[in-house]
Amino acid sequence: MQTTPQKNTLIVGWNIEAVSLYDRIIDTPAIGYNVRGFIRPAGNDRRRHYKNVPVLGDLENFSECIKKYNIADVLIVLSPGEKLYLPQIVELCAQNQVDYTIVSDTYESSYDHVIRHVIKDVLTPRDIGFRRVFDVFISLTLLILLFPLFIIVAIAIKLESPGPVLYSQQRLGINGKIFPVYKFRSMVQDAEKRSGPVWASKEDPRITKIGRFLRKTRIDELPQLLNVLKGDMSFIGPRPERPFFAHQFKKKIPFYMARLKTKPGITGLAQVTVGYDETIEDVKEKIKKDIEYIENKNSWRLNLKILLKTVLVVLRGEGQ
């Protein structure tokens, strides 16, 4: 009889849910977890083991335990009082390049967007190759067809306000790679010179008249076709975020950085289904859609739906 290979595993959490999970694991050996110990996120509980499985330490010992016990998987099972440590735990897993799963039955509804298994790349090499061919074909075709429009937009921007026609901005790409994203300038020159990085609002006074039109029609995003051609972006994917804001969001939104599991896109599920993000709650709503897309990004029905919705947004002038 063939046995299931056992993966060395840590359980992060020291609570009723954590020990109950361990009981379920030993009752179901076919799932392949060999639990080497528990990591206690916080607290002064002096108990050192459960059913001869030791408490190996706290989060300060996490990296040491990963190496010492050759850990392949981490199961995160936090009580309500421990959930504030989730961003730190996820970050530690990323730093140590270890897979992890967040057990979903211990969180309140406000954390629905992080209650799921860790996002894994779901595209096969064949799918990845096909997507890249599609990206190159569509970006080259649109750049050629829209070149006259680019000239008209460039003239309009120059006539209204001084400054460059295009501008670039640092954004986070796949796996946290920073790259310059290209856009038509829709604001006055040096818009953030005094304020520093700030969110744009619906009635932002820094936006020029032609810039408002470009944003409504999403024309300001078209230079990102160059980013797609270079390979920094895909045509469809999560919106690329600025590092300044991403580092803020990851502290407030557990699992935020999981959106970096795939290339960002010019358009995407979040971009065409969720409105303007002006609050942290708006960002959370978009993260839900980003995660939904990443988990289903090999669905060409979903990708076609996003493309059709993007066309409607452009034609109706519903961009922001």
pLDDT in tens, 82-121: 878 887 888 898 889 888 877 754 434 444 444 444 444 4
Give a yes or no: residue 120 inside a domain.
Answer: no
Q: Is 139 within 8 Å of 235 (Cβ atoms)?
A: yes
201 and 69 both lie in a single domain:
no
**Above 70 in pLDDT, residue 176?**
yes
Token output for 141 = 């075709």
Give a yes or no: residue 178 inside a domain.
Answer: yes
Which of 292 and 109 is assigned the larger pLDDT?
Answer: 292
Q: What is the mean pLDDT of the chain?
A: 82
| pLDDT value at residue 193 | 72
161 and 57 both lie in a single domain:
no
What single string gives the DSSP state of each residue in 65-126?
HHHHTT--EEEE---TTTGGGHHHHHHHHHHTT-EEEE-GGGS-GGGGGG-SBPP-----HH
Instruction: Report d(CA 277, CA 227) in Å as an integer.
Output: 23
Give a yes or no: residue 2 inside a domain.
Answer: no
pLDDT in tens, 18-48: 888 888 888 777 677 899 999 998 766 667 8
133 and 253 both lie in a single domain:
yes
Give a yes or no: residue 212 inside a domain.
Answer: yes
pTM recorded for the entire structure: 0.64
| pLDDT value at residue 129 | 77
Give a yes or no: residue 84 inside a domain.
Answer: yes
Q: What is the CATH number of the domain that holds 106?
A: 3.40.50.720
> What's the structural domain count of the chain?
2
Q: Which domain does 77 fall in, by range?
A: 7-114
97 and 145 both lie in a single domain:
no
Q: Is 37 within 8 Å of 69 (Cβ atoms)?
A: yes
Most confident of 13-17, 37-41, 104-108, 173-177: 37-41
**Above 60 in pLDDT, residue 123?**
no
Q: Is 265 within 8 Å of 239 (Cβ atoms)?
A: yes
Beta strands in 186-277 (DSSP E): 234-236, 265-267
Instruction: Report d(CA 184, CA 33) in Å as an integer.
Output: 51
Which of 84 and 275 is assigned the larger pLDDT?
Answer: 84
Residues β-bridged to residue 186:
none
76 and 147 both lie in a single domain:
no
Pairing of strands 234-236, 265-267: parallel
230 and 91 both lie in a single domain:
no
| pLDDT value at residue 159 | 93
